[in-house]
């Protein structure tokens, strides 16, 4: 007959180990206060009975929940999945659990998610980007909840960040195309509303092109959701607006992949006729035909640093850095070449 482990309580463990419930509690929550032999005995009983400690009761005793919240724009993006995986790995090493929420790039939803995480007693929160409502950030400050922004380098309210300058990062790809002699540009951007990273990438692109006396007309910047079909439609619009374009700057690798697929469908040779640069260096980017030139972000390091910084905040470490800069570099592959002579 299967044992009903849900009915096993700390009283059962105490009785089987012939100790008080207080001793069992100390063995679980403050093991350093119990002798090794007694601790081993209690854990053997716990294993035998299948006892699962009550997380809520443990939180009350320690006055800590042991959980950290993370809010990302979407879970339908490999770059976030990769980052959260590393973030959780770091938290596990410190004994923390992760609660994940998504905002769908909506500051109102994000503010609600922040409140939801606070009501669940999280000890800290990691936020992606810096487009949050200021009142939501102030709420965390009022509640003395540590938090850190990931993916950007300049935060509101003088907050902590682990990230990079998106405007400067995309310039690596733009400069590469300029060095290849391109003068006719188009851009596929993410939706810039409520997305500081997408906006900064547009700003950086326009700034560097303007330095070279190249000025993109508004119709040569098409904003898309990070979806292949959206990117394909976006490239169609760019080609209709200027059939002479020879280079496409994409604010994310998914957009670049969509552009590549549409170019191939239309018989446009990449990179002979059209060069394409992406952003993020997703795993698939190196396996495409042609492989994608893109801006690589050290997402693993960025999220690991954010986790360690947040844990340090929770533990009351002083003089922590305000900004942790992630490594960024251009990866040149097969999707870019010198501008065609026309």
Provide the pLDDT confidence category of residue 3 given band limits of 50, 70 and 90.
Answer: very low
Backbone angles phi, psi at 187, to 5 degrees: -135, 130
Point out the domain boundary residue: 13, 29, 62: 62
Domain assignment of residue 151, yes or no: yes
Is the Cα dihedral 13, 15, 21, 27 positive or negative? Answer: negative
pLDDT band at 94 (very low <50, low <70, confident <90, very high): confident
291 and 189 together in one domain: yes
Type and span of the H or E element at 259: helix 253-265
| pLDDT tens digits along 299-310 | 999 999 999 999
Contact yes or no for 198/254 (Cβ under 8 A)? no
Of 33, 92, 42, 41, residue with least CA distance to 68: 92
Q: Is residue 333 part of a domain?
A: no
CATH code of residue 213:
3.40.50.2300
Is 232 among the domain residues? yes
Is the separation of the CB atoms in 240 and 204 below 8 Å? no
Same domain, residue pair 131 and 195: no
Q: Distance (Å, rounded) from C-alpha 217 to C-alpha 189?
A: 14
Q: Which residue has the tokens 């850095």?
A: 321
> Do 154 and 173 share a domain, yes or no?
no
Quick one: pLDDT at residue 60?
47
For the record, the structure tokens of 160 come out as: 């902590």
Going from the C-alpha of 43 to that of each of 20, 47, 87, 104, 226, the distances in angstroms are 14, 6, 29, 44, 49
CATH classification at residue 25: 1.10.260.40
Lowest mean pLDDT among 32-41, 184-193, 297-306: 32-41
For residue 339, is it within any domain? Answer: no
Alpha-carbon gap, residue 188 to 206, rounded angstroms: 13
When pLDDT is averaged across residues 229-237 and rounded to a whole number, the result is 98
The boundaries of the domain holding residue 35 are: 5-62
197 neighbors 164 (Cβ within 8 angstroms): no
Look at residue 1 and tell me whether its pLDDT is greater than 70: no
Q: Are 87 and 126 within 8 A, CB to CB? A: yes
User: What is the count of structural domains for the chain?
Assistant: 3
Per-residue pLDDT averaged across 126-146, rounded?
94
Mark whether 97 and 115 lie in a shared domain.
Answer: yes
pLDDT at 64: 60
Residues 175 and 192 in one domain: yes
Same domain, 143 and 190: no
Could you tell me how far CA 136 lies from the centroid of its own chain? Answer: 19
For residue 161, give the nearest of 171, 172, 150, 146 by alpha carbon.
150
Domain membership of residue 334 (yes or no) is no
Averaged confidence pLDDT in the chain: 92
The answer, yes or no, to whether residue 13 has pLDDT greater than 50, is yes
């Amino acid at each position: 007959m299967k044992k009903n482990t849900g009915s096993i309580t700390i009283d059962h463990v105490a009785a089987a180990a012939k100790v008080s419930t207080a001793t069992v509690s100390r063995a679980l929550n403050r093991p350093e206060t119990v002798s090794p032999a007694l601790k081993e005995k209690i854990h053997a009983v716990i294993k035998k009975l299948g006892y699962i400690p009550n997380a809520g009761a443990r939180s009350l005793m320690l006055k800590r929940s042991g959980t950290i919240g993370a809010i990302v724009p979407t879970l339908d993006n490999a770059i976030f999945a990769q980052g959260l995986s590393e973030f959780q790995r770091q938290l596990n090493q410190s004994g923390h659990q992760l609660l994940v929420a998504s905002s769908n790039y909506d500051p109102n939803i994000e503010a609600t998610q922040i409140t939801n995480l606070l009501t669940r007693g999280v000890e800290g929160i990691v936020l992606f980007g810096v487009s949050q409502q200021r009142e939501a950030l102030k709420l965390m400050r009022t509640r003395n909840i540590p938090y850190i922004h990931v993916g950007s380098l300049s935060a509101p309210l003088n907050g902590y960040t682990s990230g990079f300058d998106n405007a400067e990062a995309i310039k690596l790809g733009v400069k590469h195309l300029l060095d290849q002699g391109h003068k006719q540009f188009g851009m596929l951007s993410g939706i810039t509303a409520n997305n500081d990273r997408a906006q900064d990438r547009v700003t950086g692109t326009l700034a560097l092109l303007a330095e070279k006396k190249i000025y993109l007309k508004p119709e040569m910047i098409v904003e898309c959701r990070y979806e292949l079909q959206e990117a394909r439609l976006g490239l169609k619009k760019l080609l209709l607006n200027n059939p002479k374009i020879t280079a496409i700057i994409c604010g994310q690798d998914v957009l670049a992949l969509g552009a590549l697929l549409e170019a191939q469908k239309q018989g446009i040779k990449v990179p002979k006729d059209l060069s394409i640069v992406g952003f993020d260096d997703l795993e698939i980017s190196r396996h495409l035909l042609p492989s994608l030139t893109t801006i690589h972000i050290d997402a693993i390091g960025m999220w690991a640093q954010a986790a360690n910084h947040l844990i340090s905040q929770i533990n009351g470490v002083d003089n922590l850095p305000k900004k942790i800069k992630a490594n960024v570099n251009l990866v040149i592959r097969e999707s870019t070449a010198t501008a065609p002579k026309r």
